[in-house]
Chains A and B, each alone.
Chain A
Amino acid sequence: MAERRTMSDKVFDTINLILLILITLVILYPLYFTVIASISDPHAVAKGQVVLFVKGFTIEPYKNVFINDEIWVGYKNTLINTFVTVLLALGITIPAAYALSRDELKFKGLFMGFFVFTMYFSGGLIPSYLLIKGLGLVDTRWALIIPAGFSVYNMIIARTFFKSNMAQEIYEAARIDGSSEFGIFFRIVLPLSGAIIAVIALYVAVGHWNSWFSALLYITSKKLYPLQYVLRSILILNQEMNIINVDSMESGEAMQALMRRKYMAEGMKYSVIFISSLPMLIAYPFVQKYFVKGVMIGAIKG
């Protein structure tokens, strides 16, 4: 078809290419800026001298972040919570999705209606809050983990996967061989479900890693704060961080030291954003295709 390109097509292609490159750069820039600002001299960043390149390279902000206990406690909590939530979510979602994908299950329409209705209607924030309170989960990890342990949307994605990837003949053959339904699920279906397990695990993990609102509702003890909640207090509430590495203290002038402190606090924010997003950014190129797969499987349903 290339030889059929007319003049107007060439113009179209060129404009399209230029616009696409511009859009991509605009989307990339805030991320790029975060990285260069986090390793530049905070003073230069505040003065607007850092635009395209690192200026006055320093790892001071990172040093300050690394000695900040709260961030590490948050990291630890988020790692634990995310891990447990993923296990719980897989344990509930995959078996249910599989069962709903089987033709032999009776009242399937009824079961699906029972699940799908909750996607469109909910009791609202307050009754859920009172429920968690009533269950005695407030100010425990479980308040963040258990309610995140299952989502109907993920179940539908997994069900679609089983429906389109597993042949009914496999089940029949297994039953003829005398396998129980549990046997079929654990020994035949699970080993073939690597892709969908990865999709669901990643969906849940990313969602949990980035969540902060449940912590606002349910967590009061500092030692249980997840990473995003700590991040919020630093970035949004502007809470003072214990900065001890301010190197210009010897200048003697209190005012200057104060200013320096202020710049350092601003500079640290970029490094905090970078550090907290790092696991996602590292994992992202590898897991991207699973996410896309998830979106597409989900779309088939509609």
Chain B
Amino acid sequence: MRSFPSPDGLPNTSHGGYTVKKTKPSETRPVLARESRLAAAKKHLKSYWQLYVLLLPAVVFIIIFAYQPMYGAQIAFRNFSIKKGIWKSDWVGLEHFERFVTSSVFWPLLKNTLGISLYSLIAGFPAPIIFAFMLNELAQQKLKKAMQMITYAPHFISMVAVCGLIVLFTHREYGLINIFLRAVGGSGVEFLAEPKYFKTIYVISGIWQELGWGTIIYLAALSGVDPQVVEASVIDGASRFQKIIYINLPYILPTIIILLILRCGSMLSVGSEKILLLQNALNMESSDVISTYVYRLGIKDAQFSFTTAIGLFNSIVNMIILSAVNYLSGKLSGSSLW
């Protein structure tokens, strides 16, 4: 028989079907209670210490590779020099933050970062939802499986290969896109050399890569829709569109909202990996975002303190957006992360 721990943490002992709850010793004898709690802890550790050993490597890993860098992030408030180390470097307070916010790169970087983020969100977020609804309506199961198989595939292709394909396809002379353009009477365009195309290239290739993969969660959620409800709506004469709008959409709305909150929480962190691969001197004015700027100044020019401050600024703004969106969503729809 399974025993559930009682609210006060003491084990329940069952006697032939009914439960006798042990009295909590702390209520009557406080001194003895501490001793017995210590004894209980000892007993607990004696029988379960191996569980904590199993957990230990992960705790150590996180302390070193996640918390140590957070501690190291204090160089954002100092003039870090490798010779002096973190503690001995001079404290300068918010100087680096001020320098970043008032520098001439601040607004262009923010504009590009938010621009790419919002563009991806508006074009990329609804796409898998719509695609999932469409797949869900497909009656031919084999065809559905095949379509899922094909559309998931780009997710497994590396970012380097995807960007390599983008470079090849947009090549002014040999690129497939330009060959098509010329075939219909247009002239060749060096897409990656024109700032105005950069964000579109970034977003469309992203949708191509993640459209299918993004449907998994929604399809899983849709599979939970009660068939009886659907049946009843059909008898009542609901059309397919009405079914989607009034039954399916509300059903998966909590899933959509949670994913949307998470998405908003990374509004300012447009990853540098893809952008660095597509960036060049000519498209820089629309492709330079906070993360690529941090990489360039931090790693290449070794301006450690300044770029750590930028990174920290970025993380904090993300946290604020995440909390705000989460709070709003909790108020408005009842779905929230915490």
Known: A169-B2, A280-B156, A302-B258. A99 touches B277 (CB 8 A): no
Question: In the complex, which residue of chain A has the Cβ closest to the Cβ of B171?
Answer: A266
Kindly state the separation between the CA atoms of A142 and B137 in the bound complex, as whole angstroms: 48
**Which A residues are CB-close (under 8 A) to B159?**
210, 212, 228
Q: Mark A50-63, 1 if CB is under 8 A from B, else 0.
A: 00000000000000
Say yes or no for B325: interface residue by CB 8 A criterion. no
Q: Are B44 and A106 in contact (CB under 8 A)?
A: yes
Q: Mark A258-302, 1 if CB is under 8 A from B, else 0.
A: 000000001001101100110011001100100110011001001
Say yes or no for B249: interface residue by CB 8 A criterion. no
Kindly state the separation between the CA atoms of A152 and B319 in the bound complex, as whole angstroms: 18
Q: Which one of A1-9, A79-87, A193-201, A242-250 is at the B interface?
A: A1-9
Say yes or no for A168: interface residue by CB 8 A criterion. yes
Question: In the complex, which residue of chain B has the Cβ closest to the Cβ of A1?
Answer: B234
A234 CB, nearest partner CB in chain B, Å: 8
Point out the residue from A6, A114, A285 that lies within 8 Å of B62, measured CB to CB.
A114
By secondary structure, the B interface counts as: helix
Kindly state the separation between the CA atoms of A148 and B154 in the bound complex, as whole angstroms: 22
A129 CB, nearest partner CB in chain B, Å: 6
Known: A24-B150, A270-B168. A100 touches B158 (CB 8 A): no
Say yes or no for B124: interface residue by CB 8 A criterion. no
Question: In the complex, which residue of chain B has the Cβ closest to the Cβ of A147?
Answer: B65
A44 CB, nearest partner CB in chain B, Å: 11
Kindly state the separation between the CA atoms of A48 and B181 in the bound complex, as whole angstroms: 11
Q: Mark B291-320, 1 if CB is under 8 A from A, else 0.
A: 100110011000010011001101100110
Q: Are A126 and B2 in contact (CB under 8 A)?
A: no
Kindly state the separation between the CA atoms of A281 and B152 in the bound complex, as whole angstroms: 11
Kindly state the separation between the CA atoms of A26 and B157 in the bound complex, as whole angstroms: 16
B291 CB, nearest partner CB in chain A, Å: 7
Q: Are A124 and B69 in contact (CB under 8 A)?
A: yes
Q: Are B160 and A236 in contact (CB under 8 A)?
A: yes
**Which B residues are CB-close (under 8 A) to A224?**
none
Q: Are B151 and A124 in contact (CB under 8 A)?
A: no
Q: Are A27 and B154 in contact (CB under 8 A)?
A: yes
**Which A residues are CB-close (under 8 A) to B247?**
none
Say yes or no for A257: interface residue by CB 8 A criterion. no
Kindly state the separation between the CA atoms of A128 and B176 in the bound complex, as whole angstroms: 40
**Which A residues are CB-close (under 8 A) to B49?**
181
Q: Are B151 and A125 in contact (CB under 8 A)?
A: no
Q: Are A288 and B51 in contact (CB under 8 A)?
A: no
Say yes or no for B33: interface residue by CB 8 A criterion. no
Question: In the complex, which residue of chain A has the Cβ closest to the Cβ of B140?
Answer: A17
Q: Are B176 and A48 in contact (CB under 8 A)?
A: yes
A163 CB, nearest partner CB in chain B, Å: 14
Say yes or no for B289: interface residue by CB 8 A criterion. no
Say yes or no for B101: interface residue by CB 8 A criterion. no
Say yes or no for B220: interface residue by CB 8 A criterion. yes
Point out the residue from A28, A130, A276 that lies within 8 Å of B161, measured CB to CB.
A276
Question: In the complex, which residue of chain A has the Cβ closest to the Cβ of B57?
Answer: A92
Known: A269-B164, A277-B158, A295-B217. A122 touches B234 (CB 8 A): no
Kindly state the separation between the CA atoms of A4 and B139 in the bound complex, as whole angstroms: 14
B20 CB, nearest partner CB in chain A, Å: 20
Say yes or no for B106: interface residue by CB 8 A criterion. no
A72 CB, nearest partner CB in chain B, Å: 17
Say yes or no for A204: interface residue by CB 8 A criterion. no
Question: In the complex, which residue of chain A has the Cβ closest to the Cβ of B55?
Answer: A99
Kindly state the separation between the CA atoms of A16 and B131 in the bound complex, as whole angstroms: 10
Q: Which one of B21-29, B113-121, B194-202, B208-216 is at the A interface?
A: B208-216
**Which B residues are CB-close (under 8 A) to A147?**
65
A128 CB, nearest partner CB in chain B, Å: 5
Known: A100-B55, A212-B158. A235 touches B240 (CB 8 A): no
Kindly state the separation between the CA atoms of A233 and B58 in the bound complex, as whole angstroms: 35
**Which A residues are CB-close (under 8 A) to B273?**
212-213
Point out the residue from B51, B61, B68, B212 that lies within 8 Å of A104, measured CB to CB.
B51
Q: Are A231 and B220 in contact (CB under 8 A)?
A: no
Q: Are A105 and B164 in contact (CB under 8 A)?
A: no
B157 CB, nearest partner CB in chain A, Å: 5
Q: Are A281 and B66 in contact (CB under 8 A)?
A: no
Say yes or no for A111: interface residue by CB 8 A criterion. yes
Kindly state the separation between the CA atoms of A270 and B231 in the bound complex, as whole angstroms: 50
Q: Are A23 and B151 in contact (CB under 8 A)?
A: yes
B143 CB, nearest partner CB in chain A, Å: 8
Say yes or no for A98: interface residue by CB 8 A criterion. yes
A47 CB, nearest partner CB in chain B, Å: 8
**Which B residues are CB-close (under 8 A) to A118?**
62, 66-67
**Which B residues are CB-close (under 8 A) to A122?**
66, 69-70, 315
Known: A4-B234, A102-B51, A231-B161. A299 touches B220 (CB 8 A): yes
Residues of B at under 8 Å CB distance from A?
Answer: 2, 5, 44, 47-55, 57-59, 61-62, 64-73, 75, 131, 134-135, 137-140, 146-147, 149-154, 156-161, 163-165, 167-169, 171, 173-174, 176, 179, 182-183, 208, 211-212, 216-217, 220-221, 231, 234, 239-241, 255, 258, 265, 272-273, 276-277, 291, 294-295, 298-299, 304, 307-308, 311-312, 314-315, 318-319, 322, 337
The 4 A-B pairs at the shortest CB distance, nearest first, are namely A124-B311, A123-B69, A235-B164, A48-B179
Given contacts A46-B174, A277-B157, 13 further A-B contacts (CB under 8 A): A34-B165, A96-B58, A99-B54, A100-B55, A124-B311, A130-B72, A210-B159, A228-B160, A231-B160, A232-B160, A232-B164, A276-B158, A296-B220
A-B contact pairs, 18 of them (CB 8 A): A6-B239, A16-B137, A48-B179, A92-B61, A95-B57, A106-B44, A118-B62, A120-B319, A123-B72, A124-B73, A125-B298, A213-B272, A235-B167, A266-B171, A269-B168, A270-B168, A284-B153, A299-B255
